[in-house]
Amino acid sequence: MKLSEIINNEKLSLSFEVFPPKTDTAFESVKHATEEIAKLSPSFVSVTYGAGGGTSKYTLDIAKNINEQYGVPTLAHLTCVSSSKETVQKKIKEIKAAGIENIMALRGDLTPELENSDRSKWAYRNAIDLIRDIKDSGEDFCIGGACYPEIHPESENQREDIKHLKEKVDSGCSFLTTQMFFDNNLLYNFLYKIREAGITVPVIPGIMPITNANQVERAIKLSGSFMPQRFKSLVDKFGHSPEAMKQAGIAYATDQIIDLFANGITNVHVYSMNKPDVAEKIQSNLSEIIKV
């Protein structure tokens, strides 16, 4: 099923993100975790392409399994910056053959090696190039793109970032998913600005439940997200106790999601990081809210 059929719906829903295993030996345990997440019947599950520590090799196996065994629509992530045109065309065909109708089209992060290489030789410079190739492939996909309420770290300013985002959407994105954020006002300001710039597609906010103190530093480094004082206090107070931190992190994420739903957002994407217990707890915290 195409995600455009789900996310344009007025019904409140949650979707979850999982990542593929890092090693072959971890495949079965990751597959099991993703199946437990699929059993929660989210609106869809996205499977990253190498991000979050996993390899890209198993993205399709995990996405196909969730789709076929649990009837949950899946979104396969695909990055392009370190790939050749041939590799990407092959991947697009494989995604189609696996029965997956949705692609999250991403550039991918720049490794130091890439940063120091000759950009004129890159087959893909930005996600927009990948989106155009998916469109030109003749295969019919629902395509999503990434967006950054706090600006992409490489952008000089938000105006430039939104200008490129508009071009990206116009090249064929049906929806956008945001980078994680911990202050909903940043999202509301961003939405105002992109709507003003003429970007009209649905925006799915991405919420990361921080369930252990070590994750905080990593999350900020990866995303450059602003940490509100309210969140810092919580980490200061409960960070030393894994169980207390987990409960507080889930409560914080739940609170963010309730506020988003209350302010007109209909689908929230939870970066559930292969943790079925965290996904389950957030979903049960929202069990009545989601029926509204």
* Pairs from 167-171 (Cβ < 8 Å, separation ≥ 24): 167/128, 168/126, 168/127, 168/128, 168/131, 169/145, 169/199, 169/201, 171/128, 171/131, 171/132, 171/135
Check: CB of residue 16 under 8 Å from CB of residue 35: no
For residue 17, indicate whether it is catalytic: yes
Q: Report the C-alpha gap between 147 and 213 in whole angstroms.
A: 26
Contacts of 5 (CB under 8 A, 6+ apart): none
Is residue 155 a contact residue for ligand FAD (CB under 6 A)?
yes
Tell me which residues in 12-41 interact with ligand FAD (CB under 6 A). Answer: none
Closest CB to ligand FAD among residues 31, 107: 107
Is residue 108 a contact residue for ligand FAD (CB under 6 A)?
yes
> Which of 1, 26, 51, 258 touches ligand FAD (CB under 6 A)?
51
Tell me which residues in 163-182 interact with ligand FAD (CB under 6 A). Answer: 164, 167-168, 177, 179
Number of residues that bind ligand FAD (CB under 6 A): 24
> Which of 128, 142, 194, 273 touches ligand FAD (CB under 6 A)?
128
The distance of closest approach from Cβ of residue 288 to ligand FAD in the complex, given in angstroms and rounded to an integer, is 28
> Which of 50, 149, 202, 249 touches ligand FAD (CB under 6 A)?
50
Closest CB to ligand FAD among residues 126, 247: 126
Q: Report the C-alpha gap between 78 and 48 in whole angstroms.
A: 8
Closest CB to ligand FAD among residues 12, 106: 106
Check: CB of residue 30 under 8 Å from CB of residue 71: no
Check: CB of residue 115 under 8 Å from CB of residue 144: no
CA torsion sign for 252, 256, 259, 261 is negative
Q: Residues in the site for ligand FAD, rule: CB under 6 A? A: 48-51, 77, 79, 106-109, 126-128, 146, 152, 154-155, 161, 164, 167-168, 177, 179, 206
Residues annotated as part of the active site: 17
